[in-house]
Amino acid sequence: MSYLGRIAERKAKGNSRKISDRQEKQVAKRLGGRVHIASGALPMKKSDLSTSDFQIECKTTAAGSHSVKVDILAKVTLEASQRNRRPALSIRFEGEKDPNRDWILVRLCDFEELIAKEQV
Protein backbone atom coordinates (compact mmCIF):
# COMPACT_ATOMS: atom_id res chain seq x y z
CA MET A 1 0.00 0.00 0.00
CA SER A 2 1.24 3.46 -0.81
CA TYR A 3 2.14 6.07 1.79
CA LEU A 4 -0.96 8.14 0.94
CA GLY A 5 -3.11 5.02 1.09
CA ARG A 6 -1.83 4.27 4.62
CA ILE A 7 -2.53 7.85 5.71
CA ALA A 8 -6.08 7.67 4.34
CA GLU A 9 -6.62 4.34 6.09
CA ARG A 10 -5.41 5.76 9.46
CA LYS A 11 -7.63 8.81 9.05
CA ALA A 12 -10.67 6.63 8.29
CA LYS A 13 -9.96 4.50 11.39
CA GLY A 14 -9.61 7.65 13.49
CA ASN A 15 -12.94 8.98 12.22
CA SER A 16 -14.71 5.67 12.84
CA ARG A 17 -13.27 5.57 16.37
CA LYS A 18 -14.64 9.07 17.04
CA ILE A 19 -18.03 8.06 15.68
CA SER A 20 -18.04 4.91 17.83
CA ASP A 21 -16.98 6.84 20.93
CA ARG A 22 -19.78 9.35 20.36
CA GLN A 23 -22.34 6.55 20.00
CA GLU A 24 -21.15 4.82 23.19
CA LYS A 25 -21.32 8.06 25.20
CA GLN A 26 -24.78 8.97 23.88
CA VAL A 27 -26.23 5.50 24.49
CA ALA A 28 -24.72 5.37 27.99
CA LYS A 29 -26.18 8.78 28.82
CA ARG A 30 -29.65 7.84 27.57
CA LEU A 31 -29.64 4.56 29.51
CA GLY A 32 -27.94 5.84 32.66
CA GLY A 33 -24.93 3.63 32.04
CA ARG A 34 -21.15 3.91 31.99
CA VAL A 35 -18.81 3.74 29.03
CA HIS A 36 -15.90 1.36 29.52
CA ILE A 37 -12.50 2.83 28.81
CA ALA A 38 -10.56 1.32 25.92
CA SER A 39 -13.93 0.16 24.54
CA GLY A 40 -13.96 -3.01 26.63
CA ALA A 41 -10.35 -4.02 25.98
CA LEU A 42 -9.47 -4.18 29.68
CA PRO A 43 -10.00 -7.46 31.60
CA MET A 44 -12.41 -6.08 34.21
CA LYS A 45 -14.44 -3.81 31.92
CA LYS A 46 -15.62 -5.87 28.98
CA SER A 47 -18.08 -4.72 26.31
CA ASP A 48 -18.47 -1.08 25.38
CA LEU A 49 -20.74 0.02 28.21
CA SER A 50 -22.93 -1.23 31.01
CA THR A 51 -25.95 -0.30 33.08
CA SER A 52 -27.03 -1.88 36.35
CA ASP A 53 -28.92 -4.55 34.35
CA PHE A 54 -27.23 -4.75 30.95
CA GLN A 55 -23.81 -5.37 29.42
CA ILE A 56 -23.90 -3.63 26.02
CA GLU A 57 -21.78 -3.98 22.90
CA CYS A 58 -22.13 -1.05 20.47
CA LYS A 59 -21.91 -1.16 16.69
CA THR A 60 -22.35 1.68 14.24
CA THR A 61 -22.72 1.66 10.48
CA ALA A 62 -23.10 4.23 7.73
CA ALA A 63 -24.70 1.57 5.52
CA GLY A 64 -28.41 0.92 5.29
CA SER A 65 -28.01 -2.47 6.96
CA HIS A 66 -25.88 -4.24 9.57
CA SER A 67 -25.13 -7.96 9.81
CA VAL A 68 -25.40 -9.42 13.29
CA LYS A 69 -22.86 -12.18 13.75
CA VAL A 70 -23.30 -14.98 16.31
CA ASP A 71 -19.76 -14.48 17.66
CA ILE A 72 -20.58 -10.87 18.71
CA LEU A 73 -23.74 -12.08 20.48
CA ALA A 74 -21.80 -14.90 22.14
CA LYS A 75 -19.11 -12.45 23.30
CA VAL A 76 -21.53 -10.00 24.92
CA THR A 77 -23.56 -12.89 26.41
CA LEU A 78 -20.46 -14.35 28.06
CA GLU A 79 -19.35 -10.95 29.36
CA ALA A 80 -22.84 -10.23 30.71
CA SER A 81 -23.11 -13.61 32.44
CA GLN A 82 -19.75 -13.01 34.17
CA ARG A 83 -21.21 -9.83 35.70
CA ASN A 84 -24.74 -11.09 36.37
CA ARG A 85 -26.22 -8.80 33.72
CA ARG A 86 -28.29 -9.22 30.59
CA PRO A 87 -26.55 -8.94 27.19
CA ALA A 88 -27.56 -6.35 24.60
CA LEU A 89 -26.30 -5.12 21.25
CA SER A 90 -26.75 -1.45 20.32
CA ILE A 91 -26.77 -0.67 16.60
CA ARG A 92 -26.70 2.87 15.21
CA PHE A 93 -27.41 3.66 11.57
CA GLU A 94 -25.08 6.66 11.36
CA GLY A 95 -26.18 8.04 8.00
CA GLU A 96 -29.77 8.51 9.13
CA LYS A 97 -31.07 11.84 10.45
CA ASP A 98 -33.96 10.04 12.14
CA PRO A 99 -33.85 10.30 15.96
CA ASN A 100 -34.88 6.63 16.00
CA ARG A 101 -31.66 5.49 14.32
CA ASP A 102 -30.53 3.65 17.47
CA TRP A 103 -31.70 0.10 18.03
CA ILE A 104 -31.12 -2.33 20.89
CA LEU A 105 -31.09 -6.07 20.29
CA VAL A 106 -31.86 -8.24 23.35
CA ARG A 107 -32.62 -11.92 23.85
CA LEU A 108 -36.29 -12.90 23.70
CA CYS A 109 -36.19 -14.29 27.27
CA ASP A 110 -34.89 -10.94 28.58
CA PHE A 111 -37.50 -9.02 26.61
CA GLU A 112 -40.25 -11.26 28.01
CA GLU A 113 -39.02 -10.54 31.57
CA LEU A 114 -39.00 -6.79 30.91
CA ILE A 115 -42.56 -6.91 29.56
CA ALA A 116 -43.72 -9.04 32.50
CA LYS A 117 -42.27 -6.46 34.98
CA GLU A 118 -44.22 -3.68 33.24
CA GLN A 119 -47.49 -5.61 33.44
CA VAL A 120 -47.29 -6.05 37.22
Residues 22-40 have pLDDT tens digits of 889 998 999 999 998 766 5
Residues 73-98 have pLDDT tens digits of 999 999 999 999 999 999 998 876 77
Torsion of CA 60, 61, 65, 71, to 10 degrees: -50
Question: What predicted TM-score, i.e. pTM, was given to this entire model?
Answer: 0.79
